[in-house]
Amino acid sequence: MKKRKSFPCSLLSLLSFFVILPCVWAAFAPDHGQSETHVDVLTLTGLIAPFTAQYVVGGIERAEADGAQAVIIQMDTPGGLMTSMDEMIKKMLGSRVPVIVYVAPPGARAGSAGVFMTMAAHIAAMAPTTNIGAAHPIGGQGEDIQKDLREKVTNDAVARIRALASARGRNAEWAEEAVRRSVSIAADQALELRVIDLMANSLDDLLAKIEGRTVNTGWDSRMLHTKGARQHHIDMSWSERFLHTITEPNIAYILLSLGTIALIAEFYHPGAVLPGLTGVICLVVAFTAFGILQPNWAGVGLILLALIFFLADLKVQSYALSVGGAIAFVLGSIFLFKPRIPTLPSLPEISVSPWLIAVMTAMWVGFFAFVLMATVRAHRAKLSSGANILLGAIGVARTDLTPHGIVLVQSEEWSADAIDSPIQKGERVQVVEVLEGLHLRVIKALP
């Protein structure tokens, strides 16, 4: 009888041991609560755009969900789109966790939209040798906007930035000057003028300096325990990183240029497929970036016009179209991002490097010169081998010959001269002489 009870008793004892052991461990184990606290760190660089807003808003929501002490936005931005800035600021103002904007690393800046975001943060910090400011309402390349529109835009921006600065106890007068006069100051001046709350040499230094601060998030008051906290860096998703890369103006310009060059290669060698496919992909990606960068579409049109001129010259071989194409490409490159429709003060100056324009123009001209010379050589070789066949051949005038024009002979277009009398477009012609340089002399063909 006792033997039958031994198994249940042993099992009960074993279960009790496993239940009691964790309780004993929890009672006597040291408290690691402080060392287990963490902060989430977002890195915001470059242009502020829709994908940036998605990244920041998602990062704040993640910090709210994972119990972070705070979320730090390490920022280096020239500014960006007002709609994206508004989305991020609304999330910052309504965040359940403290949001800290840290302008870093050394040499970074908070320009245009970055100024508004700094003012909206619960805690604003800057690294040494950084700067903040330049939020005056301007066009995309720094041009002054029309007086009436400028006044409306300025007043709206002033009201918004003063409200943000006042809500966070910062210098609203300086914030207004940043909008009205586009002032910009270094980190030490920003601290002295109460534009920011503190300076920090690094993230570790920042976490140590805000230890014990009480922050009112609007939901509650929270004392920060950040000294020695684990830093959880939240990276952009692959799609956000991709969009971040292509919206760099120089990258978008390179994609547009390479796309047009690839289409020229496909036109020169029909059926190759790969150049045409590459060109289409590059152009689609470039126009995706332009949808965010808001370029001067006249500049884009000039670059596409250059493509049309170059392709036409492969047929006509007049060289004048090539010169016109080169001029159109250079002008389109220069005006790609200026002058532009006036924008709100969140948008920074955007431009393409002059050196890159020079390099891409040289590539364009060099590549097309190679293609054109190869086309001419092939045509001359065909002409040399088929000159006797062309003599006496019958064709059709593609243009009026008065006396110069274009004729279609043996499924090829040729430059030609009418030697007896003008020939109208559509009339039949007969080749009487084949000249050097891909040129024919023709007469009206007998009925």
If you write DSSP's letter for every residue of 349-364 in order, what string do you get? -----HHHHHHHHHHH
More confident residue, 260 or 122: 122
Examine the domain organization and report whether 147 and 166 are in the same domain.
Answer: yes
Is the peptide bond preceding residue 403 cis, with omega within 30 degrees of 0?
yes
Mean pLDDT across 16-42:
55
The pLDDT assigned to 30 comes to 43
Residue 238 has pLDDT above 60, yes or no: yes
Examine the domain organization and report whether 368 and 396 are in the same domain.
Answer: no
Termini Cα distance of the chain: 128
Q: What percent of the chain has pLDDT over 90?
A: 40
CA distances 326 to 132, 338, 375, Å, are 40, 19, 19
The pLDDT assigned to 65 comes to 93
Three-state DSSP class for 228?
Answer: coil
Whichever domain contains 416, its CATH number is: 2.40.50.140
Whichever domain contains 226, its CATH number is: 3.90.226.10
Tokens of 369: 């010169």
Is the CA virtual torsion 110, 116, 117, 121 positive or negative? positive
Residue 23 has pLDDT above 70, yes or no: no
More confident residue, 246 or 388: 246
Q: Is residue 22 in some structural domain?
A: no
Residue given tokens 């330049």 in the structure block:
134
Query: Letter for the amino acid at 223?
Result: M
Examine the domain organization and report whether 114 and 154 are in the same domain.
Answer: yes
**What backbone torsions phi and psi does residue 76 show, to the nearest 5 degrees?**
-145, 95
Residue 128 has pLDDT above 90, yes or no: yes
- Domain total of the chain: 3
Examine the domain organization and report whether 279 and 229 are in the same domain.
Answer: no
Helix count and strand count (H, E) for the chain: 15, 16
Pick from 212-226, 327-341, 355-369 the range whose average pLDDT is largest. Answer: 212-226
Q: Is residue 230 in some structural domain?
A: yes
Examine the domain organization and report whether 162 and 62 are in the same domain.
Answer: yes
pLDDT digits (tens, 9 = 90+) for 134-156: 865 544 433 444 555 667 878 88
- End position of a domain, from candidates 376, 410, 431: 376
pLDDT digits (tens, 9 = 90+) for 373-391: 776 666 666 655 556 677 8
CA distances 251 to 80, 367, 373, Å, are 17, 20, 30
Buried b or exposed e, range 246-273, using 16+ CB within 10 angstroms: bbebebbbbbbbbbbbbbbbbbbeeeee
**Using an 8 Å Cβ cutoff, are 309 and 330 in contact?**
no
Mean pLDDT across 392-421:
88
Residue 165 has pLDDT above 70, yes or no: yes
More confident residue, 268 or 417: 417
Average of per-residue pLDDT values in the chain: 82
The pLDDT assigned to 365 comes to 80
Q: What's the domain range around 306?
A: 247-376
Examine the domain organization and report whether 401 and 319 are in the same domain.
Answer: no
Q: Are strands 221-223 and 214-216 parallel, antiparallel or unpaired?
A: antiparallel
**Using an 8 Å Cβ cutoff, are 303 and 336 in contact?**
yes
Q: How far apart are CA 78 and CA 175, in angstroms?
A: 16
Active site residues: 112, 152
Give the CA diameter of the chain: 132
Q: Is residue 23 in some structural domain?
A: no
Mean pLDDT across 103-124:
95
Q: How far apart are CA 89 and CA 113, in angstroms?
A: 10
Q: How far apart are CA 247 and CA 291, in angstroms?
A: 9
pLDDT band of residue 226 (cuts 50, 70, 90) is: very high
Is the peptide bond preceding residue 339 cis, with omega within 30 degrees of 0?
yes
* DSSP per-residue letters across 150-211: HHHHHHHHHHHHHHHHHHTT--HHHHHHHHHT--EEEHHHHHHTTSSSEE-SSHHHHHHHTT
pLDDT digits (tens, 9 = 90+) for 276-293: 899 899 999 999 988 888
**Using an 8 Å Cβ cutoff, are 153 and 159 in contact?**
no
Q: Is residue 229 in some structural domain?
A: yes
- Let me know the angle formed at the C-alpha of 186 by 185 and 188, rounded to the nearest 5 degrees: 120
Q: Is residue 19 in some structural domain?
A: no
The pLDDT assigned to 152 comes to 80
The pLDDT assigned to 110 comes to 94
Which of 107-121, 139-153, 388-402 has the lowest average pLDDT? 139-153
- End position of a domain, from candidates 350, 376, 402: 376
Residue 37 has pLDDT above 50, yes or no: yes
Tokens of 197: 């709350």
Examine the domain organization and report whether 50 and 74 are in the same domain.
Answer: yes
Examine the domain organization and report whether 224 and 253 are in the same domain.
Answer: no
Examine the domain organization and report whether 333 and 217 are in the same domain.
Answer: no
